Structures are given as structure tokens and as C-alpha cells.
Amino acid sequence: SDLREQEERGELLQPLIFVLLVLCSVLLYFKVSLMDPGFVKPEEEPEAGEAEGQSLVIPQATGDVKLRRCGYCLVKQPMRARHCQLCQHCVRRYDHHCPWIENCVGERNHPLFIAYLSVQLVVLLWGGHVAWSGLYFQQSWEWLQHNIFLLLSFFLIVIFTIVVLLLLVSHLYLISCNTTTWEFMSHHRISYLRHSELENPFDQGIILNLWRFFC
């Protein structure tokens, strides 16, 4: 492959960058997987409504929508929070529970989750290129025996690349609209969205939505 040839020639810059990217993606995975995604704690209840009001634009025509107490963990839920049955906690600005990281994606780890997907996509694209560069196609059984694992690796990389790319694009689209996966999929079941005159009352325009999310 290209990286192997560069390593043999003593050109270690690109192999080193590739290894660092892989290491970075692994560290981001564990960081997103193990960190608190924004669990609502009982001691935060008195200030939950105030903090949520300062960080978000409250939807129009939501005067009748009140902060409700979770029926599972009994904490008062801020707007856009939801209880996760798998984590057994209410999560602020709940997006979804990701089986890939075995954790919720919420207010605190959502930006890092996007960073993880971005780095992972770069690693997969580069890894696909490296695998392809090591393949020299010949119509013989001997060639297949020597290249079967590299060929399988390439196809697996292609599949994972498509999955990560679609996931990243969908999340960036939702972020640009200032909505979450849960709100997008369950709009008709969420009280503060059903009672709003606007389809998405949190939308402040693409630039401001991205700024508020990442900065």
C-alpha cells in the first residue's frame, strides 16, 4: 500500500499522521462514550427553567406548556430534555441514545460526537484509499488467496464510510435547523412543539444555529 511504501522509503510523515488520526478517533470515541451527556440532576431543579431560558429561544405560543416532572426519575425536566430508558436518566437537549457509543447524545457531548464522526470519516476515507492502493487485480486463485483480507477490509471500510457519512450529514442538517433527532422524529408527540405556532420555534437561521451549537 501507499503507506507501506512510504514507510520503507523512510518518509514517515503521512504514516505518522494516519496513526495520530486513528488514535484521535479512538480517544474521541472513549471521551464521548464515557462522559456525562447532560444528565438532569435533582439538585439542579430550582434553576433548570432559568438556565434553559437563557440558553435557548423559548418557542412562541407555549404559554400553556409547563416544565413537567419525569415519571421515571422524578426530576423536573427542562424544555428539550427527555428520559432515556437505557441510561435511566433525563438528558438535557436529548438527541438520541447511540448504541455505537453505548451512551446518550445530549447537550454536553453532542459537539464532541460530531467531531468524532468527522475524524472517523477522514480515517475511513484514508483507510479505504490505503487498502485500494495495495490491491493489484489479477484473475487467479493465488491472487485471491493473498489479497482476500485486504479485499474484505476494503469492502467493510466502504460500508462503514457510507454509514458514517450519512450519519454526519443528517446530524449537520439537524444542527443547522437547531433541532434534535428526537424532535425531528417525534414532533407530533412533544408538547412544546405541538403548541407552537412555528414548525420549529428554535430555528434562528443556519449561521446562528451553527454558532450557538459549536461555539
Question: Which pLDDT score is estimated for 140?
Answer: 64
- Looking at the predicted structure, is the pLDDT value of residue 50 above 50? no
Under 8 Å between Cβ of 117 and 136: no
What mean pLDDT, rounded, does the chain reach? 84
Question: Which pLDDT score is estimated for 110?
Answer: 96
Share of the chain above pLDDT 70, in %: 85
At residue 203, the 3 state secondary structure works out as: coil
- Looking at the predicted structure, is the pLDDT value of residue 109 above 90? yes
Q: Report CA Rg, the chain.
A: 22
Q: Which of 56-65, 94-103, 107-116, 167-176 has the lowest mean pLDDT?
A: 56-65
DSSP assignment of 155-178, as one string? HHHHHHHHHHHHHHHHHHHHHHTT
In 3D space, the residue among 174, 186, 94, 136 whose CA is nearest the CA of residue 2 turns out to be 136
* Residue 209: all three cell numbers together: 444555529
- Looking at the predicted structure, is the pLDDT value of residue 63 above 60? no
The H or E element containing residue 96 is strand 96-98
Cell 478517533 appears where?
25
**In the predicted model, what is the mean pLDDT of residues 56-66?**
49
CA distances from residue 159 to 88, 97, 133 in whole angstroms, order as listed: 32, 22, 18
Question: Which pLDDT score is estimated for 65?
Answer: 53
- Looking at the predicted structure, is the pLDDT value of residue 21 above 90? yes
By annotation, the residues acting in catalysis are 98
29-46 pLDDT tens trace: 999 999 999 999 876 654
Under 8 Å between Cβ of 73 and 85: no
Q: Which of 12-16, 90-94, 167-171 has the lowest mean pLDDT?
A: 12-16
Enter the pTM of the model: 0.82
Confidence tier at 61 by pLDDT (50, 70, 90): very low
CA distances from residue 70 to 14, 76, 84, 89 in whole angstroms, order as listed: 51, 6, 11, 10
Question: Which pLDDT score is estimated for 197?
Answer: 77
- Which residues make Cβ contacts (< 8 Å) with residue 22, sequence separation at least 6? 123
Neighbouring-strand partners of residue 84: 89
Question: Which pLDDT score is estimated for 205?
Answer: 92
The H or E element containing residue 212 is helix 206-214
- Which residues make Cβ contacts (< 8 Å) with residue 167, sequence separation at least 6? 117
